């Protein structure tokens, strides 16, 4: 049995679902951040838990030929940091193997995925970032990402994932937070005002949304703060204060005040224009989202006879992109603001055959699948996958055209194990929406078994 402070030599054999290096020693699993598959290192065991241990690299004894210098040096302190130091083509082929393994091991399925659409750009692709802050002294305020396995902030003026405009906005915000002497929230003591800053940038327009997430409602001189901010960064088009007084890791609170601009930013995907509010989900990698939707719709082969349900529809992006191919499309989404955005987006694009309703997708489909004569379904659930209720309805109604878009191969494989009792996997493609992380997006076309 391994003990704390043991020093061993071990080899990277895999990564965890969150992208931490994984090694094995006498059958015991050790999480070793920054260990690339095939690398060997001397490590020190820092923690022993029941089903795994944690180890820290002391020195490498064999370095992968696929290891590269990270684009942003500070990224080596983050969880899963080997992904910022691995040749991108290796990352992509690892993702494909991860999906295939999930299908085999979790889904018990005999199917091999061969297609993955790699990203054209493997850095600075995120259109949304939520960054924590820490005040070091009267003159220094840092922002960045959390250090591996901790809530310490690694000071990063620019991150390797975020759109480069985020760094410009953050620099100005940090300067003003110091100038206006706003206090920074401390997670441990629940004291301080400014919790985090969320920045959303538009890929297609010179528009930036800033959301200051604060514990309290009032911020002294906030209008002056904003006036200075838009002088420093004129492309900031809207500033929102989100109030979150809960002791929680969830970033956004319920309450919001729009202090400047419309409270939205606009962006474009596949020739359509979208209004996005702060609380609505919008895919973080716009370039790859276009690939994702284009492939999903190409596989779906929708026709003018189809009534399409876009379940987990967010601000309506898939539904609106599909609208011209079908007779009608209905989107169902649980977040109120996203449903409002979706209906507004239909109008904005002069689309009259799309409606969006607020609700739980499982509940909605069980009540409406027959009433609405739904003939085709596209789902794009969050990481936890489809609800049992949703799957039960699908299995009972035997919907002919069914596309499952998923950001989590594990829950996808779990759901496919059930769905493949009546469906065959007719096509499966992965899209790398999240370069430099372990995450990967998937599109599955299911066709009803004939026997
Ligand atoms: N298809 C959209 C959104 C996908 S993200 C796009 O591509 O942008 C998943 C969405 O599901 C989020 O908007 C989330 O708010 C929503 N959601 C989560 N649980 C839900 C549920 N039980 N019923 C309906 N929508 C849900």
Asked if residue 283 has its Cβ within 6 Å of ligand 1, the reply is yes
Residues 261-265: what's their mean pLDDT?
97
Ligand 1 pocket, 281 CB below 6 A?
yes
Q: Does residue 288 line the site of ligand 1, with CB under 6 A?
A: no
What is the residue with the minimal CA distance to atom 13 of ligand 1?
Answer: 314
Query: From CA 449, how far away is CA 125, in angstroms rounded?
Result: 39
- In this prediction, residue 431 carries a pLDDT of 98
Q: Which of 300, 380, 382 to mutate to test the pocket of ligand 1 (most atoms within 8 A of CB)?
A: 382
- Return the percentage of the chain with pLDDT > 70, whole number: 100
Q: Give the containing element (helix H, strand E) for 70.
A: none
- pLDDT at residue 75 greater than cutoff 80: yes
pLDDT at 224 over 80: yes
3-state SS assignment for residue 320? helix
Does ligand 1 come within 6 angstroms of the Cβ of 351?
no
Does the C-beta of 274 come closer than 6 Å to ligand 1? no
Does the Cβ of 375 fall within 6 Å of ligand 1? no
Q: pTM for the whole thing?
A: 0.95
In this predicted model, what pLDDT tens digit does every residue of 136-160 receive, in sequence order? 999 999 999 999 999 999 999 999 9
Mean pLDDT value across the chain: 97
Q: How far is the CA of 380 from the centre of ligand 1 (A)?
A: 7
For 267-293, give one letter per residue: b (16+ CB within 10 A) or e.
Answer: bebeebebbbbbbbbbbbbbebbbbbb
Q: What is the pLDDT of residues 354-409, one digit of tens each?
A: 999 999 999 999 999 999 999 999 999 999 999 999 999 999 999 999 999 999 99
Q: Is 199 helix (H, G, I), strand (E, B) or coil?
A: strand
318 lines ligand 1 (CB under 6 A): yes
CB neighbour list of residue 217: distance below 8 Å, 6 or more residues apart = 243, 255, 257
For the CA of 293, the nearest atom of ligand 1: 7
Share of residues in the chain with pLDDT > 90 (%)? 97
CA nearest ligand 1 atom 19, residue: 334
Residue 249: which pLDDT band, with cuts at 50, 70 and 90? Answer: confident
430 catalytic per annotation: no
CA 263 – ligand 1 centroid, Å: 21
CA dist., res. 45 & res. 48, Å (int) = 7
pLDDT of residue 16: 94
pLDDT of residue 217: 85
Å from CA of 250 to ligand 1 middle: 17
State the pLDDT at residue 289.
Answer: 98
Q: Which of the four pLDDT bands, split at 50, 70 and 90, describes residue 422?
A: very high
Mean of pLDDT values over 185-202: 96
Residues 96-105, mean pLDDT to the nearest whole number? 97
Residue 345 has pLDDT above 90, yes or no: yes
- Give the nearest ligand 1 atom to 382 CA: 9
Q: What is the mean pLDDT of residues 437-444?
A: 97
């Amino acid at each position: 049995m391994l003990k704390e402070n043991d020093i061993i030599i071990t080899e990277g054999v895999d990564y965890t679902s969150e992208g931490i290096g994984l090694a094995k020693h006498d059958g015991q699993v050790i999480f070793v951040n920054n260990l690339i598959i095939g690398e060997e290192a001397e490590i020190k065991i820092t923690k022993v838990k029941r089903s795994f241990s944690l180890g820290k690299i002391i020195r490498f004894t064999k370095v992968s030929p696929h290891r590269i210098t990270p684009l942003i040096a500070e990224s080596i302190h983050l969880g899963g940091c080997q992904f910022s130091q691995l040749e991108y083509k290796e990352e992509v082929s690892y993702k494909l193997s991860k999906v295939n393994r999930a299908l085999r091991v979790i889904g018990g399925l005999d199917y091999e995925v061969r297609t993955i659409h790699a990203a054209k750009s493997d850095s600075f692709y995120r259109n949304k970032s939520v960054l924590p802050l820490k005040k070091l002294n009267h003159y220094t305020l840092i922002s960045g990402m959390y250090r591996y396995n901790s809530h310490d902030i690694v000071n990063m003026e620019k991150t390797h994932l975020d759109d480069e405009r985020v760094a410009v906005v953050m620099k100005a915000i940090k300067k003003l937070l110091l100038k206006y002497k706003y206090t920074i929230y401390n997670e441990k003591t629940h004291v301080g005002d400014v919790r985090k800053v969320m920045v959303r940038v538009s890929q297609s327009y010179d528009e930036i949304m800033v959301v200051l997430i604060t514990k309290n409602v009032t911020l002294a001189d906030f209008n002056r703060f904003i006036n200075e901010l838009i002088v420093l960064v004129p492309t900031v088009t809207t500033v929102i204060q989100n109030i979150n007084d809960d002791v929680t890791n969830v970033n956004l609170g319920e309450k919001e005040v729009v202090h400047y601009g419309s409270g939205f930013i606009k962006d474009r995907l596949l020739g359509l224009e979208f209004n996005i509010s702060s609380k609505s989900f919008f895919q973080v990698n716009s370039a790859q989202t276009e690939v994702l939707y284009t492939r999903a719709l190409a596989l779906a082969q929708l026709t003018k006879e189809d009534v399409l349900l876009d379940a987990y529809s967010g601000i309506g992006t898939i539904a609106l992109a599909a609208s011209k191919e079908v007779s009608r499309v209905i989107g169902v989404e649980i977040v109120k603001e996203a449903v409002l955005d979706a209906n507004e987006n239909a109008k904005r694009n002069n689309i009259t055959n799309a409606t969006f309703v607020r609700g739980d997708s499982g509940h909605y489909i069980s009540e409406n699948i027959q009433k609405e004569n739904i003939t085709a379904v596209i789902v794009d659930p969050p990481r936890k996958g489809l609800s049992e209720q949703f799957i039960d309805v699908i299995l009972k109604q035997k919907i002919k055209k069914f596309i499952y878009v998923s950001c989590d191969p594990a829950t996808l494989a779990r759901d496919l194990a059930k769905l493949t009792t009546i469906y065959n996997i007719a096509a499966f493609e992965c899209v790398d929406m999240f370069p430099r992380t372990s995450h990967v997006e998937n599109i599955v076309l299911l066709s009803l078994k004939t026997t």
